[in-house]
Amino acid sequence: MLTADEFYLIAHNDSRGRAKLHASAAGICLAAGLLGELVLFGRITVSAGNVTVVDRRPPPDALAHTVLDQLIGESQHQLVRTWLSFLGQSAVTSVAERLARAGVLHRQESRRLLRASISYVPIDLNAVAWPATRLRALLDRPEPPAVPDALLFGLVAAAGLTREVLWSASPQAQHRLGVLIPALPPPLKELVAHAEAAVGAAVLRGTP
């Protein structure tokens, strides 16, 4: 399961698939997750506030491929905050659709009067709860988490979901989290910092 998928499940760990955080925060952090996947795939880098494509070859995931195509097609826009804002508008739905295709979520359509609404509900509650459980367990191990897991920890912290993950963690585990995020590779560390700043700004504006 890719980074944005796991973040989505942590942020929507509910039997009805409802978000546990501000809608804009979810979109921004999922956008950061999608960009982070491309960093991990070696297709982009993040530096000095900009996103730069370093490899145009299609990544193995279809959604990651779509995002990379958007970055290439709009190469005049390089600011991280611009891409977090743009991708954040559709990231929740895009990642939910990816999870539905993977058989983790069920796409459910309901109609009221003339309006239709789409929701994504868990097929297996244990599978939805697993990412948060897995992260808690990682912090209790002596070896450092892998880079993708460290990025996921960073996104969880940026979204203000640390308590959601660490509610039963030891003080030592919480200390390790505080050390882990600053040790991320520079492109991912910067990406997480931009996501955290964008989430803070969206909440202050009261963006829905």
> Distance between CA 51 and CA 149 in Å, rounded?
21
Q: Which residues pair with 112 in a beta bridge?
A: 115
pLDDT given at position 206: 64
Please give the Cα distance from 20 to 163 (Å, whole number): 11
- Sequence-ordered strand ranges (E) for 63-175: 105-112, 115-122
Rounded Cα distance, 71 and 35, in Å: 10
Please state the domain extents for the chain: 3-205
What amino acid is encoded at 178 in this protein? G
What dotted CATH number matches 3-205? 1.10.3630.10
Rounded to the nearest integer, the mean pLDDT of the chain is: 90
**Sequence-distant (≥ 6) Cβ neighbours of residue 55 within 8 angstroms:** 42, 43, 44
What is the mean predicted confidence (pLDDT) over 160-186? 81
Strands 44-47 and 115-122: unpaired
Count of beta carbons in the 10 Å neighbourhood of residue 139:
20
Does the pLDDT value for residue 208 go beyond 60?
no
Q: Tens of pLDDT along 185-200?
A: 999 999 999 999 999 8
Report how far residue 41's alpha carbon sits from residue 168's, in angstroms, rounded to the nearest whole number: 32
Q: Tens digit of pLDDT for each residue in 61-85? A: 999 999 999 999 998 999 999 999 9
Confidence of residue 14 (pLDDT cuts 50, 70, 90): confident
- At residue 42, the pLDDT reads 97
Of the chain, the percentage scoring pLDDT greater than 90 comes to: 62
pLDDT confidence of residue 136: 85
User: What pLDDT was estimated at residue 187?
Assistant: 97
